Structure 1
Amino acid sequence: METTKIDFLKTYLSLYIDHQTVMADAQQANPQYVILDVRNAPAKIKKDQIEGAIAMPAKDLANRLSELDQHKTYVVYDWTAGTTLGKVALLTLLSADFKAYELSCALEGWKGMHLPIESL
């Protein structure tokens, strides 16, 4: 039974990427990661986003896959780690054969670490 739990946790954790990895990649000349803000709210409600993120609401993602580069790796985020939009977006991307992760701790964690954001 413990092996089953361990395997499940390994799989679960493999779906996430940490802030430091994303930040380090952003400093590269040709970043591997593209950050997608998948929150389904208008800009006036969002007010800010991770610096350089592309707004692509989870509800629209399946219809906008043709806009994405199959050679990049996508990092999706939602408001908080406890919400499901990031997971829905991740499922959409992975099901369409994109490389993708969900940002660990979502926007809330990013802001809590005082990492770069931009006003909308």
Structure 2
Amino acid sequence: MGDRAAKVTLFDAFASVAKVMGSGRRAEIVDVLAQGERGVDEIAMEIGQSTANTSQHLQQLLRSGLVITRRQGTRIYYRLSGPAVVQLWAAVRRVASEHVAELDELAAVYLGDRSALDTLTRTELSERMAAGDVVVLDVRPEPEFRSGHITGAVSIPVKELAGRLKELPTGRTVVAYCRGQYCVFADEAVRTLHQNGLAAARLEDGYPEWSVTGLPVEGGAPPVPPKTDSRTRVSMRSRANSS
């Protein structure tokens, strides 16, 4: 029979992961890092927080084991500790979409009307790529494209798309993708393409989901050693005690 105190500590450690995700800003950081590693200044800009506040959030993610670091010269880069964190974030969004009553309304306010936008699943896009009848367009910021992208994708950040339409091959449907289901970049790209008379659709989710399911990708940051910094790891017991 297991010791009750040990079980309490174990389950508190499990819950510590949920606790660290219990902040919208830390969830945003996970969403950003699902695209690839970043420095603290870049992350702060993405989530609209000061560098100091962002650093505090990152330290909590580091202590939980959800994020690890890589040092290059004087700069420290942060990245998710593995595919399981991407899957965790996807599961959080999925459960919220099924059980949080107002989520659809909140998403609609942020994303706008998607009813006129054609959408392809990952399977459909993979099949059409094999058939050679689509152009895959990555509309995320260029650093995210460099960190990793769908194999064969063309990089044109959404803010530059209207001025770079001539760079796209003609005669094929353009399928735009960005960070995920709740990212507006691909929607904006499809609307811009439609306004300019081009056939276009959006991928149902984004690069993290494509990558984590083992579909072909290119690029990516150098691997992070599993023991980058002893300070980024804490014991299960200390995590539980801090919750």
- TM-score bracket for the superposition, by shorter chain length: 0.7 to 0.9
Two-structure CA RMSD over aligned residues (Å): 1.9
Secondary structure of 1:52's partner? coil
Secondary structure of 2:115's partner? helix
Between the two proteins, the alignment pairs up a number of residues equal to: 107
Cα distance in 1 for residues equivalent to 2:192 and 2:173: 13
* Residue aligning to 1:8: none
Cα distance in 2 for residues equivalent to 1:64 and 1:41: 14
Identify unmatched segments of 5+ residues in structure 2: 1-113, 221-243
* Residue aligning to 2:143: 42
Cα distance in 2 for residues equivalent to 1:37 and 1:103: 10
Does residue 22 of structure 1 match 2:125? yes
What is the CA distance between 1:70 and its match in structure 2?
A: 3.4
* Amino acid in structure 1 at the alignment position of 2:168: L
So what's the TM-score if we normalise by structure 2?
Answer: 0.41
Secondary structure of 1:115's partner? coil
Secondary structure of 2:200's partner? strand
Does residue 93 of structure 1 match 2:193? yes
Cα distance in 1 for residues equivalent to 2:219 and 2:141: 17
* Amino acid in structure 1 at the alignment position of 2:139: V
Aligned residues of 2:177 and 2:203 also touching (Cα < 8 A): yes
* Residue aligning to 2:115: 12
- Aligned runs of 1:41-120 on 2, under 5 Å? 41-42=142-143, 46-119=146-219
* Amino acid in structure 2 at the alignment position of 1:79: R
CA change 1:37–1:63 in 2 (3 A) is same
Over the matched positions of the two proteins, sequence identity in percent amounts to: 27
Secondary structure of 2:136's partner? strand
What is the CA distance between 1:14 and its match in structure 2?
A: 5.2
Cα distance in 1 for residues equivalent to 2:127 and 2:184: 26
Secondary structure of 2:165's partner? helix
Identify, as 1 or 2, the structure richer in helix. 2
Aligned residues of 2:122 and 2:210 also touching (Cα < 8 A): yes
Secondary structure of 2:186's partner? helix
Cα shift readout 1:35-81 (whole Å, capped 9, x = no counterpart): 000002425x7510001101111011000111223311001011111
Aligned residues of 2:190 and 2:200 also touching (Cα < 8 A): yes
CA change 1:19–1:13 in 2 (3 A) is farther
